């Protein structure tokens, strides 16, 4: 690592320039462009995400305040707000969507050695969505309710490495269950979902693909019990049954057997009922799989708090999707560096460090690892007591 390279440039250096150039060429991103290329657009938008800027004007002001450093950041000259805004409006967002998937594949390879929290060898994904409310007068295309606009981020999160491997951006009216028609299911993998995704025809497609689902059952589900396994009630389990659906349409859409597991959470005194088409795993492993579904909720909370995806820097569909996909690229870049540098700090701490160190020339691996929290011993403190008794 070159000690003379800025922290921001070191992080962006994780992107393979030739691979990015091929993506840009595929979508014609640089056609009839003379100065401000897609790479420059990516640098500016990523700088805004990493340093937590609030607007395009904020990004441009901060960059132009350091004209002697722009060349070393990869920008040949100063940036204009109108130029950056136009690029977000007209350049195909699929450039950055494809880049995000490339980085995600790279990150997942690095995290392959992660131990599974449920002791299962199968890959497990958590599926959920989050809603970002918008102003209807500005984002008229994002239909949600009569007087509100919104977009949804439908996300498939790899539970083991906590990195999203699939994201679909839709308007607020797009029902969550419809995303099951878009996902390509991976054989032998688990898909963990809340009961809002219950659609027996779509769950049958998961079963036919050789994949497994874990989903909460609805209270009014009609079924007949075929067989019951013995369970250890001290572990919280109440039953482990093999069942079949009784409803006419439900049984027609999903004629296969199901496994029904009932679990009592002793701390909250709540009972949960899970359904799965996997019969070999222990019942406690299925329960643990569903508990880990909350990682996707934590992911939504993290990106809303630490990345700029709640306040958008453009009004069109293309500008909004461009900003979201570059935010995902930023998240994955930090995750890659976290793994490469073997840092024990959280993603939040790493992002905060980068946000104030973008123009430093410290090697990133040293920047992430040299910080140690000091523990002060009050008994040997030289500070005077305010109140001496």
Higher pLDDT, 143 or 368: 143
| Mean pLDDT within 150-167 | 90
pLDDT at 18 over 70: yes
Higher pLDDT, 67 or 39: 39
Q: How far apart are CA 305 and CA 308, in angstroms?
A: 8
- Per-residue confidence (pLDDT) for residue 256, from 0 to 100: 94
Q: What is the pLDDT of residues 276-324, one digit of tens each?
A: 999 999 999 999 999 999 999 988 988 888 888 878 888 899 999 999 9
Q: How far apart are CA 133 and CA 368, in angstroms?
A: 35
- Per-residue confidence (pLDDT) for residue 115, from 0 to 100: 58
pLDDT at 373 over 80: no
Pairing verdict, β 212-216 and 190-193: parallel
| Mean pLDDT within 106-132 | 81
Q: What is the pLDDT of residues 38-61, one digit of tens each?
A: 999 999 999 999 888 889 999 999
**Residue of 39, 85, 45 whose CA lies nearest to 62:** 45
Token code pair at residue 185: 């299911």
Q: How far apart are CA 76 and CA 92, in angstroms?
A: 23
**Residue of 150, 116, 7 whose CA lies nearest to 69:** 7
- Per-residue confidence (pLDDT) for residue 156, from 0 to 100: 94
DSSP bridge partners of 169: 153
**Residue of 48, 132, 133, 141 whose CA lies nearest to 87:** 48
Higher pLDDT, 27 or 362: 27
The SS3 assignment for 88 reads helix
- C-alpha of 82 from chain center: 30
Token code pair at residue 195: 């009961």
Q: What phi, psi does 377 have (nearest 5°)?
A: -90, 115
Q: How far apart are CA 51 and CA 356, in angstroms?
A: 7
Q: For the chain, what are the domain ranges? A: 7-93+319-369, 195-292
- Per-residue confidence (pLDDT) for residue 377, from 0 to 100: 45
CATH class of 195-292: alpha beta
- C-alpha of 177 from chain center: 19
pLDDT at 120 over 90: no
H or E segment to which residue 227 belongs: strand 223-229
Q: How far apart are CA 210 and CA 241, in angstroms?
A: 21
Average pLDDT, the chain: 86
pLDDT band at 226 (very low <50, low <70, confident <90, very high): very high
- Per-residue confidence (pLDDT) for residue 200, from 0 to 100: 94
pLDDT band at 372 (very low <50, low <70, confident <90, very high): very low
Where is average pLDDT lowest: 74-83, 190-199, 233-242, 257-266? 74-83
- Per-residue confidence (pLDDT) for residue 243, from 0 to 100: 94
CB contact at 8 A, 119 and 291? no
- Per-residue confidence (pLDDT) for residue 311, from 0 to 100: 83
pLDDT at 353 over 50: yes
């Amino acid at each position: 690592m070159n000690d003379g390279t800025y922290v921001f440039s070191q992080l962006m250096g994780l992107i393979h320039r030739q691979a990015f150039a091929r993506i840009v060429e595929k979508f014609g991103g640089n056609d009839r462009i003379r100065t401000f290329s897609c790479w420059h657009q990516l640098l500016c938008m990523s700088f805004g995400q990493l340093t937590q800027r609030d607007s395009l004007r904020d990004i441009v002001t901060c960059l132009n305040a350091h004209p002697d450093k722009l060349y070393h950041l990869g920008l040949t000259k100063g940036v204009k707000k109108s130029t950056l805004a136009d690029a977000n409006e007209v350049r195909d967002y699929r450039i950055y969507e494809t880049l995000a998937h490339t980085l995600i594949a790279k990150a997942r390879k690095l995290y392959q050695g992660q131990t599974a929290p449920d002791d299962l060898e199968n890959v497990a994904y958590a599926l959920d969505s989050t809603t970002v409310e918008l102003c209807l007068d500005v984002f008229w295309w994002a239909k949600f309710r009569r007087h509100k606009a919104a977009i949804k981020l439908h996300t498939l999160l790899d539970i083991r490495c906590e990195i999203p491997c699939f994201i679909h951006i839709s308007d607020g009216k797009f029902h969550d269950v419809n995303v099951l028609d878009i996902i390509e299911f991976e054989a032998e993998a688990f898909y963990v979902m809340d009961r809002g995704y219950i659609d027996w025809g779509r769950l049958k497609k998961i079963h036919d693909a050789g994949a497994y689902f874990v989903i909460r059952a609805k209270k009014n589900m009609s079924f007949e019990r075929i067989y019951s396994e013995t369970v250890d009630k001290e572990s919280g389990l109440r039953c482990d049954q093999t069942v079949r659906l009784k409803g006419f349409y439900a049984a027609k859409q999903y004629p296969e057997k199901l496994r029904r597991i009932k679990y009592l959470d002793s701390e909250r005194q709540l009972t949960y009922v899970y359904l799965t088409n996997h019969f070999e795993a222990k019942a406690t492993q299925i329960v643990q799989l569903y508990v880990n579904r909350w990682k996707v909720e934590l992911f939504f909370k993290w990106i809303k708090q630490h990345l700029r995806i709640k306040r958008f820097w453009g009004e069109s569909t293309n500008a909004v999707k461009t900003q979201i996909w570059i935010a995902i690229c930023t998240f994955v870049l930090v995750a890659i560096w976290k793994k490469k540098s073997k840092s024990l700090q959280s993603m939040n701490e790493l992002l905060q460090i980068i946000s104030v160190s973008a123009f430093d020339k410290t090697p990133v691996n040293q920047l992430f690892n040299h910080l140690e929290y000091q523990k002060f011993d009050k008994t040997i403190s030289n500070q005077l007591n305010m109140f001496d008794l």
